Each structure stands twice: as C-alpha cells, then as structure tokens.
Amino acid sequence: MHASWAPGQGGCWAAQQALGDSVPLSPDLATFQDEILESSFLSASILLTRVLRKEYGAQNYKFTQTPELIQCLLCILQKEPDFLATLCRQKIILIIVGLSNLRPSLKPLVKSRILQTCLQSVYLLPPIEELKSKAPLLEPAPDVMALYGKTVRALDLLLQNFFLENPSMDELSFLLQHTERWLKSDRSHERQRVVLSIFLLLQYVVDSLKFTEEATPSVLGHHIGLLTLLCRDKDKVTRSHSQQCVSLLLRLVVEQKGRALEFRPWNKAKHFEVKVSKEWETKLGHMVKAFRQDLTVAQHTQLVLTLLPGLHSHSHLRCDLASRLLLMIFQDAGIKPEQVAEILHSLLQALPGIRFKNVYKTMMKATAALGNQHTQEVVEVTLSLSHPFERKILFLWRTLATNQQLARKVMTILYMKLKLRPSREFIQPTRQARLVCLEALNTIYELLYTQEYRGTVRWAFAGVLMGLLTQLHYLLELGMVEGLSDYQEDILDDKPLGPCRTCLEALKGLFWTTNYWEVFAHVKLLHGWECLQCLETYPQGVTLLARAMSHYDCEVKAILGQAIIFLKNSEERDNLVAILIISEFLNSPDVFQHVNQRSMVNFMNLNLKNPNPLVRAMSLQALSSTLMHPKKMALLQSRLLELLDSFLQPEPNDPLGLMQILGDILHRLGDQGVGAVILKIAQHLRLFFEDVSAEVRGCAIFLFGDVIHSGGKKFRQALKTFAFQALVPLLFHLADSCPEVVMKTKLTFLRCAILLKWEFRKELFSKLAWGRGLGAENDVFIYMIESNFGNYHQFLMQALTYLHSPHRNLKLAAMRFIGGMLQDYFADLCFYLKKGDIETLKKSLKTLREDPDSMCRRFYLNFMGDVMELSHYVT
C-alpha cells in the first residue's frame, strides 16, 4: 500500500494557497500568518508521523514522500532566528527523527542534508550568555537554558536514531564525517558543542550495542585525529570530552577486534593540561602507543594525515600538540613501510606552511626520525617526487642531514642508486628522465652544494666518486650527451643540464666542495675534464684524475678500497674505472700502506683474463710497476743518471725527447726513489723556459711543476727556493704567444704557489682558470706580490732581464710588472733596494729609450722619472 499525499513545495506554497495570491499583506500581518502556518504545518506533521508509525499499519505501509516532507521541515529550520524563544527547533528535529524510522529508509544524500542543516541550526546559536541577552521580551519570559537543553537533546536523539537504523562502524563514520566542520571551528563554543554531541553518541554506542560485523573503516583514524587535536583546547570542557571521545573510539575499535581493552593511564585523566609538563608528555606517549597497537595500518595512516594539516592551525596549542604527536609517532616506530609514501607526500605539503618556530623545530626532528626509521623508503619516495632543488624537496633532504648517522645512510643509498642502470634496449627515450640512477644523480649534484651535507659528502667521498665515474661512462654509452660540449663554466645559466653534463659537473663539484680543489684545478688546467666528455678519451681523463688524487693525497685509502670492490664486479665499466685508478695509484710509494701487496698481485692476475682488452692491458701495466718489482727501481735510477748527463750538456740533442723520458722515469720512481738528482734537474730546466721552440718551453715548464713536487720532505726546502726563483719567469710566460705554453705555465705557477703555501691559492686558481683581461692579470700580480712580503726588490731585479727578451709578449709583460711595482710598491722598494740595484735599473730602462718599439719608448718616458725619484731615497 502506498500513500500519495504531498505537502507541496514547502510552507510558503501552503500559505499562498490559504490566503490567496491577490491579497496584499502588511509585514507584521504576514509574519504573524507565516508563524501560524508553520505552527499548523508542524502540528500536522506530528500527527501524520504518529499515524504512520502505529504498529498495526507500519509493517506493510510505505510513505514515499518522506524526503519531500523532510525538505519542507528543513526549510523552516533554516529560517529559525539565532535565539531561542520556542520549541520549534526541537519539534522539527524530533519530527525528522520520527520520519526517519518510516519505510523506505532514507537515502544517504537525504540523511546528509538533514545532518548538515540540523547541526548548523544548533551549533551556530550564540554562546549561552549571549542567547539569554537575545531572548525576546515575552510574558512569561522563555527559559532559555531549558529550551537549549531540549534542543540539544533532540539533536543527540537524531544522531543516535540514525546510528540505530544501521548499527555499524561505517554508519558511525558517516555521522562523524558531518561533525568535521565544527571540530575545526575557530569558535570555542561551537567546538565545545560538537565534542559533547560526539561524546554522548559514542557513549550511547559503547553502552547499548555490540558489533557483529568486521568492517574497520580507515576514516575512523581521521576522526580520531581531529578529536586528538582538541585535547589541548583552551576550553577545559572541550579538552576533557575530546580525550574521552578518543578513548571511546579506541575502545570500539578494540572490542570490534574481539580483544579486551587494556588499562590506559591517559583514559582516567580528566583532561590534558594546557601547559607542557612531564606528566603531559607521558600521557601523549601512552596515547601514541595506543594508536600503534589498536588502529589498523589504514586507520593509523589517516590519523597521521589528519595531524599534519593541524600544523597550519592559527592555534599555537593545536600546532604544538600536532607536532609533538607526530614526533612521538615517528620515533615510536609506529609507521610501517607501506605508510611512508602517502605520509611523506602530505608531510611535504605541510612543512612550508608552519607558522611557529618551535613547531618547525619539532617537525624537523620528526622528519629526521621518520627518515631514520625508514631511510630506504624515504629516499626512494623523495627521489620520485620532483626535482631535488625545489624548495620543499630540498628542505626534506636538509632535514634528513640533521643527524649525522642518518645523513650517511641517505648518501650511501643515493650513490648505490646510481648502480640501477638498465641496459640500452630497456630504455625508452621518452622516459629517460625517470631513470632512478638519473634521479639519484640529480639529487647528489644538488646535495654537494648543500651545507648540511658537506661533512657527509666528505665521509662518502670514495663511494660517490666511483659512482659518478661509472655513471658518466654509462651515460656516454647511451649517448645522453645533450649540452655536454657547449657548456661554459664561467657563465651562469638557469637552463637545465643534460644527464652527462650533470654527472660531469657533479664530479667536479665533489672535489671543489670537499676542499680538494687542488685536484680539480690540476685536472682543469690539463684539460682533463674535457677528456671525460667522450668514450675515446675517457681513460686518459680518469688517469689524469687518479694521478692528481695520488699527488695531493686525496682519499687514496678509501678510493683504493672502493676500486678493489669495483674490480671484482661483473660490470665491465666498473672494472675499467677501477683498473685505471689502481694502476695509477701503484706509482705512489704509500699505496701498500693501505693494501696487501700479495692481494693486489692476485687481483691483477685475475684481470688478465678480463673480456675488456684495456682492462687486461692496464692490469699487465700494474703488474710491471716499480712497486710490484723493487729491483726495477735500481735500473730506473741508473737510467736516470745516464739521461741526466745528456740533459745537462750545454746544447743537448733532442731536449724535448729527453724531458719526456725524464718525466716518465720520475713518475715511476716516485718521491722516494729520486734523490738529490732532482735538484740538478730543477735548476737546469729553468734554462729551457726561454727556448725558441714553444714545445720545448712548454715541456720544460710542465716538467718543472712535476719536479718541484717530487723531492719528498728531504729536498722540499731546496725545491721551494727553486720555485721562488721561477715565479717571475712563470708570471711572464702567462703572456706567452703559444696557448699550450700558457696553459702549462698556469698549472706550474699554481703548483709553485701551493708548494710555497700562499694564502690566496684558491682565488689564484680561479683567476688563472677563468680570469680574462688586465683585471685578472692584475689580480694574479697582487696575489704573487702580497704572498711574498719582503721580496719585492728581488722580483723587480729578476724582471729587468726580460726587458731585453726576444719574445715581445714577455717583454711587454715585464714592463707591466715593473711599472706596477714602481707605482704600487714604491715605498717598499725604497726600503729594500741598494744603490747598485738603482744603477742597474737605470741602465735597463735607458736601453729602451732608443728601442724601435713605440711601447718600449713610451714605458721609458713614463717611468724613468719614478726611477730617478727612487734613487733619491735609496741609501
């Protein structure tokens, strides 16, 4: 049986039909008549509900217009004023309670509309004191407290009734979902009301019902999170009820699992204190433990995802509570690996919006704790998120470095990720950017320049180095060379780097940021970095790099250990990089302090069968090194003496060939096998600096740089003297007409500065490598002069000899140098020069007076006056 009665489109339609559309009404009369109509409509609705609910007809009767009738009631409820003078609100809610019990059951959409309207109508009422003052002046005066109590009770009955219709956790979650807006309200009285409603509902559920179904909706974790955030509310009642709500929800979860509820110390507490105390921290700890033990993984995830937005609250108490809970949850090992990805995504969204400094610090600790518990997962998720230099991503990496042990784990995982290199056939060109090894590479590149990782990078130097070298070879194999050859170091550009260029720049940055800049400089000034840009010259580049690392004692022990591990790997590129480094390190006499000689021989013998011919050849070369065969040292020393006799002749045959052989023998003998011969070689090389052949000049200058670093501690002081004496000639050869000579001079000049321990060595290199024009030349001049206080006059007297050089470039360089000394260091020269020095100076300048070169004549005219003035002060 079905009923077809309908109330129309609402109370307004009924009023219009009763009064007629054509009769104009005064405002007071219209209001009065509306109130009569609404009252009549409510009375009719009550009678209808009673009739329909009678037992004798309810079983077989369906009232299909319930949603329309409820809609009319909700319209009336929405028009209720923001004060209480009648029981209208209570009546409407109770009628809806009655109608909701009729068949057919209300659809979720209708129930949702009911909840939204009823909650809003009650919760939006002003605070009690304000309600009392707003009450209209009627006789008798309405009892506002009684009216409010009855209205709230009706709302509680509505919630309980909805739950009773479908007693399940899903239904409870559905009801709690509609309270979220009010739990987040900025108004204290609204939060107090909604928490009380939830408390009464949960008490009713716990006391009167037993669950039979096993559904455990994850959204319950969200509701627990919202209520937990109110456990430090400013209002005492709200704090107490919210804590009890959390306790009741956990009790429901536990009982549904068929377990007995354990005693929880925080269950019995009246409320959480507003101020932080040890007792308060203890209660939080018990709460976190309960969350971990009682909630499902999905519920626990939702709890955490709810606490994270709480960090953005305007309430400092709420933010502080959220951060402390998250810290404890992450420290408590309550997060499972499968939760990390979702939590980390939300964490990254939450961190930038934190307002309070102490909350920010707590969250840094919390993030570090999460990273410490799940380092592998955190690194993998963070790699997949976005480009590492995005602010929020970089913040996360920096946070993971607040703990040294964690930072080391992170860096180790990153350089191990470089090994995840699929072969060419498995790579789609459109997906190159998503390769894990490229994501790890980009991240390492950024972290090299992140202050928090400086110490960690130094600790992981060898692993990162080997990872980057093999990664570069891999990328060259794949042909990912976009932007590799046209890159300019000295130009700032925000254009993204290609994979190969990123890897090469990371390799350079590894040395620069760990203060092994001498290695970087050495390779740079020998064009070694360019050698690493293609497969054909790659071995030469690695050899140059290994030689520089050995020379400057750059992490030799750690790199050697990593190289041996790589030599055992099955990857051919790993073997290649390893053998190139090991074979070069075997020219250093200190290498067997770090590795057993017999083990090294065995490794080399095994690699004589390597499928790569270059690995076989380098293994054989390593086996034939002087260190492997000490008897060779005596033979090489004997050969060195023979060659030295030829080299020291006034006009040796083929000096270029002789110097190349001498350099090779010196390299193989190392510091300890050379002896005093090194001093004779260093002294004699100076004679070839001014050779007419650019090749001879360049070779002599380059070999001089090797020689002054090959004498060991015993001859270091004597070699420092030779280095000092070579400074002026080297400075002038920076203006040599041959570019190759200039580049070799830059390296040797820098090596002299390093040997002499100048203060501004690093700045000097920057000017030598990237400086241009007179400005850079002047800077190099200043670094040299200021690093040799008290020796200005010696430099000046050395420079005079170049005024007669057949090489115009050197002659002009000497004039600029002498002019600079006379202008900028006049007072110092007055103090150090002697009368004889002044006469020599005058004679040298007078020879320029008749020089056919106009620049020489101009120099004489410009500076002869300074020399004459200088003669008056020199005693």
Residue 209 gets the label, from left (phi > 0), alpha (psi -120 to 50) or beta, of: beta
Residue-wise pLDDT for 75-124, tens only, equals 989 988 888 888 889 999 999 998 888 878 889 999 999 999 999 999 99
Is 207 strand, coil or helix?
Answer: helix
Mark 828-851 as b/e (b = at least 16 C-beta within 10 Å). Answer: bbbeebeeebbeebeebbeebeeb
Mean pLDDT of the 663-669 span: 86
Query: pLDDT-based confidence at 56, cuts 50/70/90?
Result: very low
pLDDT at 226 over 90: yes
pLDDT at 17: 34
Q: What's the mean pLDDT when you consider all of the chain?
A: 86
Is residue 20 pLDDT above 70, yes or no? Answer: no
Q: Identity (one letter) of the amino acid at 684?
A: H
The reply to whether the predicted model has a pTM over 0.85 is no
Indicate the burial class of 757 (C-beta count within 10 angstroms; 0-12, 13-18, 19 or more): exposed
Rounded to whole angstroms, the Cα distance separating 390 from 591 reads: 43
**Structure tokens belonging to residue 754:** 């390093």
* Closest to 808 measured CA to CA, from 847, 853, 849, 774: 853
Looking at residue 573, its pLDDT comes to 93
What CA–CA distance (Å, rounded) separates 642 from 41? 124
pLDDT, tens digit (0-9, with 9 covering 90-100), for 316-339: 999 999 999 999 999 988 899 999
Which of the 8 DSSP states describes residue 802? G
pLDDT at 733 over 70: yes
Q: Is the pLDDT of residue 557 over 70?
A: yes
Concatenating the DSSP letter of every residue in 701-752 gives HHHHHHHTTSSTTTTHHHHHHHHHHTHHHHHHHTT-SSHHHHHHHHHHHHHH
Amino acid at 863: F
Instruction: Give the Cα separation of 617 and 603 in Å (integer).
Output: 14
Half-sphere exposure (Cβ direction) of 584: Cα atoms closer than 13 Å = 23
- The Cα–Cα gap between 53 and 765 comes to 95
Question: Per-residue pLDDT averaged across 786-799, rounded?
Answer: 91
DSSP assignment string, 110-122:
HHHHHHHHHHHHH
Helix axis angle for 108-123 and 66-78, nearest 10°, is: 20
pLDDT at 28 over 80: no
* Whether residue 81 has a cis bond before it, omega within 30° of 0: no
- Taken as a whole, the chain contains a residue count of 875
Nearest to 615 by CA among 681, 663, 570, 675: 570
Instruction: From 320, 325, 225, 227, select the one nearest 284 (Cα to Cα).
Output: 325
Instruction: Give the model confidence (pLDDT) of 269-300 as tens digits.
Output: 444 544 556 788 888 889 999 999 989 999 99
Run of H or E including 404: helix 404-417
CB atoms within 10 A of CB 859: 23
The answer on pLDDT for 536 being more than 90 is: yes
Long-range Cβ contact pairs of 848-851 (< 8 A, separation 24 or more): 848/803
How confident is the model over 142-187, as pLDDT tens digits?
Answer: 788 899 999 999 999 999 999 998 888 899 999 999 999 999 999 9
Q: Measure Cα distances from 672 to 291, 589, 596, 764 in Å.
A: 68, 7, 20, 30
In which element (H, E) is residue 300 found?
helix 297-307
* Mean pLDDT on 533-539: 94
User: Both tokens of residue 349?
Assistant: 């969204």
How many helices (H) and strands (E) are present in the chain, helices listed first? Answer: 46, 0
Contact between 795 and 728 (Cβ < 8 Å): yes
Distance separating alpha carbons of residues 84 and 134, to the nearest angstrom: 8
The one-letter amino acid code at 300 reads H
**What is the number of other CB atoms lying within 10 angstroms of the CB of residue 171?**
19
